[in-house]
Amino acid sequence: MKTLVGRFRSQLDPLALRFSSSLDVDRQLFREDVEGSIAHVTMLVKQNIVSSSEGNTIRKALKEIEREIEKGRFTLNGKAKYKKRFVGEDIHMAIEQRLMEKVGPLGGKLHTARSRNDQIALDERLYLRRMTRQILKLIRHMQRAFVAKASQYDSVLMPGYTHLQRAQPILLAHHLLAYVSMLDRDYERFGDVLKRVNRSPLGAGALAGTPHPINRMVVARALGFDGLVENSMDAVSDRDVLIEFVAHCSIVMMHLSRFAEELVLWSSQEWHFAEIGDAFTTGSSIMPQKKNPDMAELVRGKTGRVYGDLIALLTVMKGLPLAYNRDMQEDKEPLFDAANTVADSLAICCSMLKSVKFDAKRFENELASDSLLATELADYLVRKGMPFRKAHLIVGDLVHVCGERKTSLKDLPLVEYRKRSQLFEKNVFTMLNPRASLLRKRSAGSTSPREVRRTIRRLSRTLRR
């Protein structure tokens, strides 16, 4: 009988194999690949496509392979610690080859009614689901850390900034809680993408489906999916959920980078608002006095790489005709990098935040300049019936006079106020108290102590769930 050799008459050139192999990257999908394969063969048994005994043999061998990889007994694309070593195209072929070594030709039945195209898409969705859930937990940990820190410093005043210029007095707790709001939107985004991630592409085949009497929903339910990616071409050739996930990763990193930037500034001698714990800073190789905010700087730096991951994915996908194309092999490296970077950055930022000590006295000293209360004077006139734009001009003129005379608003004589408006009375100077200015804030979500305490109580309850 003639030996079957398939379509090709020569092996892949070693250079071409090395160039095209993704095993160094996608090897971390081995658990997802085994999980998906077990669910697939279970369905094949249920549909009488393979026998029960064949299915049991394949399932048992797959679990053994998973343990071998975990314990290093089956080395992927590297030096074998024990006996087995595989050098090949990807993790999917590596596991299939090892399966056939274990159970012989029977292992080839696992690929019945399945293509690597829908197999890869399935593995990626299983990975995305796991990492999304992990990131959701890490976001909640970070939010709780911010709320705890806000509660610890709930009565500390600080100058609020716009354009990096001192603007108005606020509570430090209010500033910290702004990050909780940012992270809340991040949490919503990841929760939303999880709905689209959690659909099974398996059963789409290479692009057209399969003639075998499979039941796609059996596999979907076994793997905990909510439904199917219906169109078989879309199922194997679309990477929207990866792009959406990495886009959300980019936004999280942007938020963390803003926080990191503030820690870098605030921990400097010029600002000296905060001190990061020693465990999250480093020294200099030459200057003994240095205490560098390296972890914050690294988060800030890694943000750019996650942005690059998003652009890489969009660029890979932008010109691909339907259905699957080998270009899509390049989706995994940016996906894994973005997911791991966000998870690591959330974990380090959460721990770093817990170590931070804020200098309440330093904050208070920076409020000595009452120019931060200029808006209070404008609102004083508005409450007496003056249009805000006119009040703004009058108070701006008073601030200019203070600058020329090198004095403060509270030390400016009342006569100077009344030269500009007869609406100014003796009680105008009560406006020039930072803490009192906070008490006058009435709007929901403001920096008033009442609003901040209410927010802390609410978040303490909701984030406990």
Q: Report how far residue 112's alpha carbon sits from residue 58's, in angstroms, rounded to the nearest whole number.
A: 13
With H, G, I as helix, E, B as strand and everything else as coil, classify residue 160. strand
Q: Report how far residue 58's alpha carbon sits from residue 240's, in angstroms, rounded to the nearest whole number.
A: 33
Q: Which residues pair with 157 in a beta bridge?
A: 171
Chain centroid, CA 254 distance in Å: 9
Q: Report how far residue 22's alpha carbon sits from residue 78's, in angstroms, rounded to the nearest whole number.
A: 13
Supply the residues annotated as catalytic: 163, 284
- Report the helix count and the strand count for the chain, using DSSP H and E: 18, 8
CB 183 within 8 A of CB 147: no
Q: Report how far residue 376's alpha carbon sits from residue 169's, in angstroms, rounded to the nearest whole number.
A: 10
Q: Report how far residue 292's alpha carbon sits from residue 303's, in angstroms, rounded to the nearest whole number.
A: 19
Tokens of 42: 């279970």
Residue 136 neighbours by CB under 8 Å, 6+ apart:
187, 190, 191, 194
Closest CA to 323 of 244, 225, 239, 246: 239
